[in-house]
Amino acid sequence: MSWQPEENVLLEIYNVLKLGQEGSTEVQQQVYDQIEKFSKEIEYFNRYLAIIFVDSNIDNLFVRQLSGIILKNNLINNGEGDLGYLQEYILFGLKSEEKILRLTCSTLIASVVTRFRLFSWKELINQLKESLVCSNINEVLSSLDCLQKIFQDLSFEFGAGANNIDLPNDYQPLIPIVLELMIDDNDMIRISSLSCIKELLVMMPDSLYNLSKNLIETLLLLIENEINTSALVLLSESISIIEDYHPYLFDLNHQSHQNNNKSNLSKEQQQQEEERLKQQRGWINEPLIPFMVNIISPDSELELILNGCMFWDSWSKNGRTRQQLRKYIPTMIGSLYHHMKYTDGSLLERYSVVEDESNEEGEYSVRKAASSALESLSKRFGSELLDNLLLLIKDSLKHEKWIERECAILSIGQISYYCYNEMLEYLPELIPYLFECVNSISINISDNIYENEKSKQINNNNNNNNKNQNFNKNEELKSEHPLLRSTALWAIGRYIHWILKQKDEQAIEQIYQITIECLFAQDPFLQISACSCLSEFIHEGSQFLSLINVNLLIETLGRAVLEYSASNLKYIYSVITNFFESFGQTIINNNELQISRLIEPLINQLEKAIKSEISTKIIKVFNVLSAAAANLEDIFLDYSEITFNYSFQLMENILIEYIKASQSKEEIYSGVLPEKEPAIFAFNFLSCLIQGIKSKSAALIENSDLLNYVEFAISDFNEDLRESSTLLLSQLSIHCFDQIMEYLPNYLTILTQNLHSAFESIFINSCNCIIEISNSMDSNEMEKYLPNILKKLINSMFEKHVNKRIPIMAAITISHLALSNPQFISQHFESFAEPWLYWITRINETSELDNSFRAVCNIATSNPNVFSNYFLEFCQALVYHKNPEKELKNALIKIFLDFKNSLQNEWFQYYQSFPEKLRNQLKSLYNF
């Protein structure tokens, strides 16, 4: 007899859920406690929740929604349980008349699908297929929402941008249906289908790539029929993502991605085939390029212009279709230049962003997007772009309105990186002009700067004759508008390399001094530009360092830390981070530098940030202190205890709060938990601290509960927390191995679980941890963990559609394990020989390549009988290591000769079976 619910139990559960509508915390806690009790005492409790959730006769939407939320949490947190039975019920929620219940149902279904990997849930697939083409709009919308959430969860599981991760087969037939819905008559269906495809684009599965032509054409059709901003945004994102993962689709000059064997074709046939492939790949360019050029015209709507500029920024960075775009360059440069100018609205917005300390970044404005697009285009078109740009700025540099001059200067700065060589002939006159823009109201520049054919002799003469005149300092530092001065100072920073190269100490000193003075200007934008310019000075390294008083710079930076407003602190932090990274060793070698004048203000800011409980402030201070701790080494020892305590206490408080919240009613009612980001950056700081002071951190570790929190964090579901804590564990394994010994069984179990190819950074950090632990751990103790570790590493080398860094890292890890545990790894050589010998040849770092071939020697010595079965693969790998160290080279030669001698008379015939190219390479590199 099939199970039937008990009416009295159903009513009791309903009444308890209904109490959840009460506003008082006390009542809600009682509800939570009773639900916990039900889950333990009532058999098939989840079935009752499912019945309440889908029962259309219950008119209390709150109760039905809450039952669905609790059901979702129970299934995710407590395992499969009664899942088979429940699947029959929860699908009914997709057909609910109430939007809130449909949304809850789609979240529930998506969570169940990804949590239990129910990718072949036929009833769901059939329901979605049926609902997507039905006449009931609500049903279509709920199905789209369900699909969107499934795609979203899949992209999160595989990692954002995990290209070539294809959808489960059952979902692929749904994609063409969703594409058709993008041009449906109903606005909501169009929006939902756009959102659905947008989530799918994060993964860019092959099934969508194969339909990318349909996708782009559908989007263009949608936009042409009605200017639809959502579609335009998705079009831009679609192109960007498709070109990132499948660039040959847009690049007519790109080699085919197909592994076509053309060796048997005649030259004429090869040309015909290449032309066919060009046409196949370049279908998108003809309709797309003029359309996207047109939407950035001055007459377009603001939001369209913004997205158009962002599109061209992304497109140009990836270097697509230079030839086809060339004829549009004058039009595009004119439009972008127009949008780079300040307007009344953008000026108000600019100052409101700075004055509002809670707004850390502000909106990505049209001006910013156009400027960035111009810079990206300069990478592709160089002198062609500059010729067109010079025509536009010719009059602007002498214009009476500061906004016109500012736009010209901004464009000169934006093209500095990619048109540096083309700009060299103009710099002797341009730099003094920019300096005058910063230094005074006087603007004096000749027409020569606009002449493309100006001779180098004139440049040199102007440079020599006007140098002292142009760099006269105006003590009042006045200008008609601070934004003009700000942009001019920023532009100077973009050409600091050239300025230092001229070795004019007077000019360098004057620019440096005005940069330092502008650090403390009242105008916030002058401060920002001064920070940018100073960072460029510092980036130049020793050449700059020899010209300044370093102690005075340290004191200046410390003063800025204390005086800057909250909105501008991030800029001075960036300068200081650059300073530590560029001059860390110099500071270490110079005991006379008064580094405390900079470190103490930073610690003061950390204390204030933690008290404020504003995450962004905390994170920014931790970033700069991390650079100090990692690069100052023992010099940071005096500050290690106080910074360790601050970071540990912050991390501990956040994790304790998180653990408590996850066990309370909060997750059931809202799913909202405390943010972990400050804890993540605290872990990052601790990694840098231990990296810097090394074994001297042991005392700090012993006097804290840090190692317990590391164990919690490396197993947490939050990817960033796992990554940062695993990075910390790597440093602990190197410098504090004795302190972590008792935790190693749990650590290694979790690290093995984290060897999942979907999360690249976690995989790599986990491998590094395992390597460091194996280097220090007794080989007999380590051996008990190796079977599971090796299995995971081997699987990752065999997996398809995976970032190549993952199998390479897996191969590197196996190599290290073969060095520290040769007997065990050698016994299992046959299970990983082929992929391992392939992937070690893809290692770029020489030291790791050497380690891997030393591991080859270990295995060949420990298990010669099995190794001999893969001698050809060994030789194929050998030719990739062209310059091994002498000792290693001799060991590799010995392996080769030993095998040759073992075959005796059979050697010649065996060796002749090798490909001729391989034999030639072996002879050339190893004299075989």
Residue 140 has pLDDT above 60, yes or no: yes
Q: Which two tokens stand for residue 213?
A: 């032509």
Taking only the tens place, the pLDDT of each residue in 810-847 is 999 999 999 999 999 999 999 999 999 999 999 988 89
> What's residue 244's pLDDT?
52
Taking only the tens place, the pLDDT of each residue in 347-387 is 766 665 554 444 444 556 899 999 999 999 998 888 889 99
> What's residue 360's pLDDT?
44
Let me know: does 811 contact 840? Beta carbons within 8 Å. Answer: yes
DSSP assigned state of 257? S
> What's residue 670's pLDDT?
46
**Mean pLDDT over the full length of the chain:** 81
> What's residue 5's pLDDT?
81
> What's residue 481's pLDDT?
81
What integer is the mean pLDDT of 425-436? 93
Residue 597 has pLDDT above 80, yes or no: yes
Q: Is residue 470 very low, low, confident or very high in pLDDT (cuts 50, 70, 90)?
A: very low
Q: Which of 716, 712, 715, 643 is nearest to 684 (CA)?
A: 643
Sequence letter at residue 757? S
What integer is the mean pLDDT of 673-682? 85
What integer is the mean pLDDT of 447-457? 34
Q: Can you tell me the distance from the alpha carbon of 615 to that of 607, in angstroms, rounded to the nearest whole number?
A: 13
| Among 221-230, 307-316, 837-846, the least confident range | 221-230
Q: Can you tell me the distance from the alpha carbon of 81 to that of 860, in angstroms, rounded to the nearest whole number?
A: 49
Q: Is residue 269 very low, low, confident or very high in pLDDT (cuts 50, 70, 90)?
A: low
> What's residue 274's pLDDT?
57
Let me know: does 345 contact 404? Beta carbons within 8 Å. Answer: no
- Listed ranges 313-322, 334-343, 757-766; the one with the highest mean pLDDT: 334-343
> What's residue 370's pLDDT?
95
> What's residue 70's pLDDT?
85
List CB contacts of 539: < 8 A, sequence separation 6 or more: 496, 578, 582
> What's residue 467's pLDDT?
37
Residue 169 has pLDDT above 80, yes or no: no
State residue 570 phi and psi, 5-degree precision. Answer: -60, -30
Residue 322 has pLDDT above 70, yes or no: no
State residue 690 phi and psi, 5-degree precision. Answer: -70, -35
Which of the pair, 455 or 685, is modelled with greater confidence?
685
> What's residue 16's pLDDT?
85
Detail the DSSP E strand segments found in 259-318: none
What integer is the mean pLDDT of 26-38? 81
What are the sequence ranges of the domains in the chain? 1-115, 291-349+362-396, 781-928
Q: How far apart are the first and last CA of the chain?
A: 78
> What's residue 155's pLDDT?
67
Residue 469 has pLDDT above 60, yes or no: no
The total of other beta-carbon atoms located within 10 Å of residue 493's CB is 24
Q: Can you tell me the distance from the alpha carbon of 289 to that of 328, in angstroms, rounded to the nearest whole number?
A: 9
Q: Is residue 243 very low, low, confident or very high in pLDDT (cuts 50, 70, 90)?
A: low
| Among 195-204, 238-247, 275-284, 711-720, the least confident range | 275-284
Q: Which two tokens stand for residue 350?
A: 């600019």
Kindly state the percentage of the chain with pLDDT values over 90. 41
